[in-house]
Structure 1
Amino acid sequence: MANAPVPASAPVEKPAQQWELAAQWAQGWRVLKVAATVLVVIAFLMVIGQGYLFYRLFDDLHPMAGLVYIVALTAALAWLVGRPVAAFLSMPVAARPPDIVIDARAPDPKAIAARLRYDVRYLQMLAANPEVQAERAAIEAGIAKGRELAARAARATPEEALALSIDLQTFERVHVEALLAPLDKRVNQLIHAEAVGVGVATALSMNGTVDAFIVLWRNANLVAKISRIYFGRPHLMGSLRILRDVAAIVVAARALEDVTDITGDVIGSLLGRMGGLIAGPVMDGGINAMMTLKLGYLAKRRCRSFKGWTAVQASAISEEALEDVKQESGSVISDLLKRTGGLTAHASRATEKVLAGSRSAWELIRSWFGGNRPQGA
């Protein structure tokens, strides 16, 4: 009996080269992000250290004056920055959205059920928020409705999934988004006010280190207030990312002073001395205001924590934040110019008086030493 032919084993397929390159790129991108975060933290600590370098000025006057300065600066940082950061971290951790994407054309009943279970947890968290206690009955009704829909989705067939997907969208719009709308409005007003405040304060400040401390204080206060309104903050990594964003903006605000100084010098050579004195600081304030806007909208998105922050959605979230900044930027810059316009006008008149007074004083001094004396003196 002839031996039966042994079937040849299937050749082992090598992974496609593009997948290996994609994995290497993803690994490199993660390393790049970690390195960028480390650099931001180091630069942030250097900016904070610059404030303590002024200790030498006071210590040269008297050792006690230097000690008083160190104690006062540390107390100010603890009160203006440490207190808001501690308040932010003391907020309860918000329910983490599931990393699921529901296909609108062929939804998965299990994915719908998982999303509805999360919606119920989110409403339970919202029920503890002191800001929405007047809506407690509506929240309880939403929890009951969500549990009912989740039970339906758990036993649904794929044919019923499309109708359930529509019911899910309606449920989230009526029972969740409607409750969040008043909170969103308050947060948007807060972000606008803080952005204008940062812009005005840094426009009037003439020192980059002072600018950095103002941005640190106002932005730390902003994220603390946002988390308090939503009565929640993201998990540990999300919270660290928010604090990293604050640190990055502080570093950028410190570096921005040199750029706007150069811009002011250029504009001053074209439009005159007062044009340069005003244009540079106002540009500084405007850019700081825009950075505060973006930080506020990203912090809002993380503290609101209703929609997922997946790798697929990350780019869309950043684009959404930038779009919010674009829509709000015109109003913020308009308010910034209104509030700095009067101040710069007063500064301009005061400078003109000082310059006129200095010229008169100089003419008087010259007359004492036999200079050109006015006729009839």
Structure 2
Amino acid sequence: MAWVDETRLDDVEALGALDSRDTLRSLASAGAQVRRAVVAAEEAGIERVGGGERPRSVLVAALGGSAVVGDVLDLLAEPGSPVPVSARRDAPLPGWVGPLDLVVAVSQSGRAAGPLALAAEAARRGASLLTVGAADSPLAEVAARARGVHVDVALPAPSSRTALWSLLTPVLLAADTLGLAACSRTVLESVADVLDEVAEECRPSSESFVNPAKVLATGLDGTVPVVLGDGALTGVAACRAAQMLSRTARVPATHGALPDAAASVVATLDGPFGSGLGDHRGSGGDIFADPYLDGPAVPRLGLLALRDPALEPAGASLAEAVVEAARASGAVVLEQEARAGHPVERLASLIGLTDFAATYLALGLGLDPSVSRHVTDLRDRTS
């Protein structure tokens, strides 16, 4: 069962006509977002975060396409941070937050209700505040009144999904300044280079058989995707990839990270999208199958395994066992290994690629990656 029009994926003009808000161009600017955000953060006085002193705790307020900011900071801080890091998407602000704590509120528009309410309450309690979002926005005003630090979004983008690196970079610089995670300007320059390399490989003019993002998009076509990370770092990338597949490509996707998700993923191989029920209409096993008499073909399970080259041998062995089981069951299996380097470089290589893949999948399906009529309708119903 194939729905993607591969000829469209190799037609640069057709892609541009369908991509009404230049999503591909925004994704290609990820490296530039990092560089511009570093400058914007330094100009905003990022060294003043928390009054220059290490806070008792850090809480990240972000939701939707920005929520991954909290996941990344938690991932980097967990191994050696001297203070706890947590994430929150909406009010109320936890009761323990007070003057000794730092609240980081992230919203591209500076108007998202959850982060805005959390930032305002944090300011009322006297907590230190770092905000990242649009200039002259309500979020920026809250930071100004609280004498916090506000970093303007460095480059315009059609959505928070495509502005990720403008939102994440200042938070990583703040974490480095406070000694929560090692992510210096030098590291971020390398991250920008990695994102530039991914953008070059995944450019629209690169043909489907050599473009890694288009290869992933066509590979996931007609499947029920499960994105699996082989560890904590790739688990964050898997969560982001599943969100992009659902929100951008409009393909329902689930995600997990090993070791916890091993049994859950393998169990699905027995289900209706695996081989356990004996129905192979979607696998191409019965060449005489009649879709009118036998019903439509059943989508196959698609496992996208994200691999970390720095993973310990035990974790790598478990990941390989899960992948082998999926292949043996007849599932579509795609693997992608992160590039070597600093954890943020490895993460950037996976996020950059899967962001492009989800966008190409949307375009191949004939969908505008930035505009969903049902999301627009939902906003109208709830405004």
Task: State if a TM-score over 0.5 links the two structures.
Answer: no
Larger helix fraction of residues: 1
Larger strand fraction of residues: 2
Report the TM range for the smaller structure's normalisation: under 0.3
